[in-house]
Each structure stands twice: as C-alpha cells, then as structure tokens.
Amino acid sequence: MATSRHGYGCTTVNGRRTVAHRHYYEQRFGPIPQGLEIDHLCRNKACVNPDHLEAVTRAENVRRSHR
C-alpha cells in the first residue's frame, strides 16, 4: 500500500486518492460522525485494521498521541 508523506496508508476509491484508514473505518462502521476523526489505537499510522480504529474528538486524538 502506498503511504502519504506523513506515513498514512493511501488508497484510491472511485478514482480519488484518500487516506486508507478512513475508508476502511467507514466500510466497517459507516460514516465518520461529524466533528470526529479516526484514531489508530495501535499507534501505527499505516494500519487499516478496523479493530484498531476509533472515532474520537480531535482533543482526544491529540491527548492519546502523547502517551
């Protein structure tokens, strides 16, 4: 899988490049709720395992990134 310059996995969906973790999250759980972003619980930016992804607020995602 290709990765972005920031280390996130990338994929192409319907002819558009997107970050893969958001696509795979939505495939499993449905649309990402407004105002939330996807946190990688495993701390691996390239991971697309839906069991390692959680929709959280920006503040929570930042807080978790500093552990």
pLDDT of residue 22: 97
Q: Dihedral sign for Cα 18, 24, 25, 28, please.
A: positive
Structural domain harbouring 23: 2-65
pLDDT of residue 23: 96
Tens digits of residue pLDDT in 8-59:
999 999 999 999 999 999 999 999 999 999 999 999 999 999 999 999 999 9
Q: Rounded to whole angstroms, how far apart are CA atoms 12 and 5?
A: 16
Q: Dihedral sign for Cα 24, 29, 35, 37, please.
A: negative
pLDDT band at 67 (very low <50, low <70, confident <90, very high): confident
User: The domain that contains 36 carries what CATH number?
Assistant: 3.90.75.20
H-assigned helices in 1-67: 20-29, 58-65
> How many structural domains are present in the chain?
1
